[in-house]
Amino acid sequence: MLSVVIAEQKRRGKKLAAKIPQRRRVQVVAGVPLTQGKLNAVRAAFKAGVPPSRIARQFGISQSDLRKALASDIAKR
């Protein structure tokens, strides 16, 4: 897929991005693609006592992915 994207960018005459900036990278935590900012916000909301179902709805992720993201926080400790 990446090769197709690069070929299309060359066809359109656009410069190729040398490297993805660190702040724009998506961190995949146990199969859950969340940016570091969203992951921090999810953890903060959980610690603040917001119900997991509401957090999942707000961030547009499944409750299963939410549990995985929260479990990865515990594993890092």
pLDDT of residue 20: 57
Q: List, for residues 5-59, the tens digit of each pLDDT value.
A: 778 878 888 766 666 555 555 555 555 677 888 888 999 999 999 999 999 999 8
Higher pLDDT, 48 or 1: 48
Residue with tokens 């990865």: 72
Looking at the predicted structure, is the pLDDT value of residue 65 above 60?
yes
Residue 27 β-bridge partners: 34
pTM, 2 dp: 0.55
> Could you tell me which residues come within 8 angstroms of residue 46 by beta carbon, excluding any fewer than 6 positions away?
52, 55, 70
Q: Residue 59, exposed/middle/buried by CB under 10 A (0-12, 13-18, 19+)? A: middle
Looking at the predicted structure, is the pLDDT value of residue 75 above 60?
no
